[in-house]
């Protein structure tokens, strides 16, 4: 099917909107956020001690934990997972002994009262009415802000599971007058960030430490604590950088977390980047398995998160819906990207210039008028994104929208699954499947057996053994024992070859 190519000139005629966008910045706190700040400030009126005293007690606790890091399993585990942490000026860690009252007894003997232990969240009340340590048998990482320790995040032994009833994998300090998990980003190091280090949003505290450690502070890992990224945390991150990197885990929850981060961050005039991790990995596992250089290389080659989201919509939605969804992402990005991205999306969907300009203009106006409202609307569509990503696990579903745009007959053919498998293998091998297939049919429509015809054309252009093997396997009778198979992502191969995906 021949596509009509949109020209960029009419799409450049949005000077007023672009100038207005460039004047926008981090949004002012909302009334609800201001009220939460007032409520937190008012809580100090009823605290048993002032901020300096409570922060000092937390520092005493950290000294206790740090002195015991090699008395249990913690030290060896940290050495294995976060090599070099002991000599880094940016990493502190410790171990909470596997006893009921080790810290309570230690701090109690140094003048810390029971009320102070409860106020800091270092202790909890047992069923007997006495105090017990909140953290027991765990690696301890401090949560700091402005050089004060506000609380702690504690990791259980890696061999334990939820079935062992030893608490969650990560256990944070409960909300206190000092620590509020929805407002605090773990790992933010003011000195490094003030010197120009790039903040990298990750999902877990070990990932945050891995980023900071691997890059020697050129990048600073930051993470929410026991919650999805909140609007307050996003605002805080946006004040640190206009181009933070989002490096959430390479799984379905991680991809959805990245989508959420995009909309929460872009309302504050940021254009977040992202990195391409192999399926099932995270920054900490990359550092552990491939070393610091592999993780740093991924960070150095970060690309626009918005472009990843645009590609997802163009790949997985019907033409008109794909273009409209893509323009909403484009509208949230900087004006310098508008013309090229909209032109590419319109050409992809075969939409004429007037229609493209109209939808683009409406999306930009909606965003400029109220970015918080526009972002909230997009956050409500994440469930639809989840469904599309889940469908990608099945090649027949992943490539259906593309096939319908190329030739609606393709998905009705009996050998459509064989063609879809070839398309998936080509994508895994790094080929731009949408552009490739459009080129193959652009000048010569498919014949009376379109799926077979396109398979032959792909085979002639892609003499990749994996692609041809998939074609052969799909056209032969499947063994009775054949079940669902996993596909090694292309990025895994690139990592193993020392060539991180861009």
The answer, yes or no, to whether residue 252 has pLDDT greater than 80, is yes
The answer, yes or no, to whether residue 500 has pLDDT greater than 50, is no
Which of the four pLDDT bands, split at 50, 70 and 90, describes residue 487? Answer: very low
Least confident of 146-155, 321-330, 391-400: 391-400
386 contacts: CB under 8 Å, gap ≥ 6:
252, 256
Residue % of the chain over a pLDDT of 70 = 89
Measured CA to CA, the distance from residue 341 to residue 424 in angstroms comes to 24
More confident residue, 474 or 104: 104
The answer, yes or no, to whether residue 2 has pLDDT greater than 90, is no
Enclosing H/E stretch for 96: strand 94-96
The answer, yes or no, to whether residue 495 has pLDDT greater than 60, is no
Residue written as token pair 């969240």: 121
The answer, yes or no, to whether residue 47 has pLDDT greater than 60, is yes
The answer, yes or no, to whether residue 226 has pLDDT greater than 70, is yes
Check residue 396 and give its pLDDT. 83
Beta bridge partners of 200: 221, 245
Check residue 257 and give its pLDDT. 96
Q: What is the pLDDT of residues 25-34, one digit of tens each?
A: 999 999 999 9
Q: What is the pLDDT of residues 431-440, one digit of tens each?
A: 888 888 888 8
Which of the four pLDDT bands, split at 50, 70 and 90, describes residue 393? Answer: confident
- Continuous H helices in 218-352: 231-240, 252-266, 283-290, 292-300, 305-316, 319-331, 338-349
Q: What is the pLDDT of residues 458-473, one digit of tens each?
A: 888 886 544 444 444 4
Which of the four pLDDT bands, split at 50, 70 and 90, describes residue 315? Answer: confident
Check residue 464 and give its pLDDT. 58
User: Average per-residue pLDDT in the chain?
Assistant: 88
Q: What is the pLDDT of residues 296-312, one digit of tens each?
A: 999 999 999 999 999 99
Find the mean pLDDT for residues 279-283.
91
Which range of 72-81, 156-165, 383-392, 479-488 scores highest in mean pLDDT? It is: 72-81
Q: What is the pLDDT of residues 156-199, one digit of tens each?
A: 999 998 888 889 999 999 999 999 989 989 999 999 999 999 99
Check residue 7 and give its pLDDT. 52
The answer, yes or no, to whether residue 430 has pLDDT greater than 80, is no
Which of the four pLDDT bands, split at 50, 70 and 90, describes residue 11? Answer: low
b/e map 462-477, b = 16+ CB within 10 Å: bebeebeebbeebeee
Find the mean pLDDT for residues 148-154.
96
- Continuous H helices in 126-226: 190-194, 205-214
Q: What is the pLDDT of residues 354-366, one digit of tens each?
A: 889 889 999 999 9
Q: Which DSSP string do the residues of 411-467 spell out, in sequence order?
A: GGSTTHHHHHHHHHHHHHTT--HHHHHHHHHHSS---SSHHHHHHHHHHHH---HHH
Q: What is the pLDDT of residues 63-117, one digit of tens each?
A: 999 999 999 999 999 999 999 999 999 999 999 999 999 999 999 999 999 999 9
Check residue 484 and give its pLDDT. 31
Find the mean pLDDT for residues 383-411.
85
Check residue 491 and give its pLDDT. 34
Measured CA to CA, the distance from residue 470 to residue 141 in angstroms comes to 48
């Amino acid at each position: 099917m021949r596509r009509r190519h949109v020209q960029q000139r009419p799409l450049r005629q949005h000077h007023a909107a672009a100038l207005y966008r460039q004047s926008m910045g981090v949004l002012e706190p909302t009334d609800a956020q201001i009220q939460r700040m007032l409520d937190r400030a008012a809580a100090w009126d009823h605290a048993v001690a002032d901020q300096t005293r409570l922060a000092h007690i937390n520092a005493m606790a950290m000294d206790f934990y740090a002195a015991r890091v090699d008395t249990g399993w913690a030290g060896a585990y940290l050495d294995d997972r976060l090599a070099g942490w002991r000599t880094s000026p940016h990493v502190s860690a410790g171990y909470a002994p596997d006893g009921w009252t080790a810290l309570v007894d230690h701090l109690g003997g140094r003048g810390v009262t029971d009320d102070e232990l409860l106020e800091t969240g270092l202790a909890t009340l047992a069923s007997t009415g006495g105090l017990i340590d909140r953290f027991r048998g765990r690696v301890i990482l401090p949560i700091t802000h402005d050089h004060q320790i506000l609380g702690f995040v504690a990791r259980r032994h890696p061999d334990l599971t939820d079935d062992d009833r030893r608490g969650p994998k990560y256990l944070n300090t409960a909300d206190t007058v000092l620590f509020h998990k929805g407002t605090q980003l773990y790992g933010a190091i003011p000195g490094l960030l003030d010197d120009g280090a790039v903040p990298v949003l990750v999902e877990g505290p070990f990932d945050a430490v891995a980023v900071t450690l691997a890059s020697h502070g050129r990048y600073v890992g930051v993470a929410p604590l026991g919650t999805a990224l909140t609007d307050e945390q996003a605002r805080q991150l946006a004040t640190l950088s206009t181009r933070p990197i989002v490096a959430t885990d390479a799984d379905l929850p991680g991809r959805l977390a990245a989508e959420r981060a995009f909309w929460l961050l872009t309302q504050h005039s940021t254009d977040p980047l992202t990195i391409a991790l192999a399926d099932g990995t995270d920054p900490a596992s990359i550092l552990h398995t491939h070393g610091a250089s592999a993780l740093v290389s991924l960070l150095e080659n970060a690309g626009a998160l918005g472009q990843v989201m645009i590609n997802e919509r163009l790949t997985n939605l019907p033409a008109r819906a794909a273009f409209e969804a893509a323009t909403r992402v484009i509208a949230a990005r900087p004006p310098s990207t508008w013309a090229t991205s909209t032109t590419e999306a319109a050409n992809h969907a075969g939409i004429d210039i007037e229609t493209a300009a109209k939808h683009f203009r409406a999306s930009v106006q909606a965003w400029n008028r109220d970015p918080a409202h526009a972002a909230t609307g997009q956050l409500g569509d994440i469930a639809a994104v989840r469904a599309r990503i889940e469908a990608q696990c099945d090649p027949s579903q992943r490539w259906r929208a593309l096939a319908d745009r190329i030739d609606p007959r393709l998905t009705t053919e009996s050998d459509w699954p064989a063609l879809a498998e070839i398309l998936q293998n080509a994508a895994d091998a790094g080929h731009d499947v949408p552009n490739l297939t459009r080129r193959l049919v652009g000048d010569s429509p498919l014949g009376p057996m379109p799926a077979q015809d396109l398979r032959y054309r792909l085979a002639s252009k892609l003499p990749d053994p994996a692609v041809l093997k998939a074609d052969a396997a799909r056209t032969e009778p499947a063994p009775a024992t054949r079940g669902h198979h996993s596909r090694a992502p292309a990025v895994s191969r690139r990592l193993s070859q020392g060539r991180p995906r861009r």
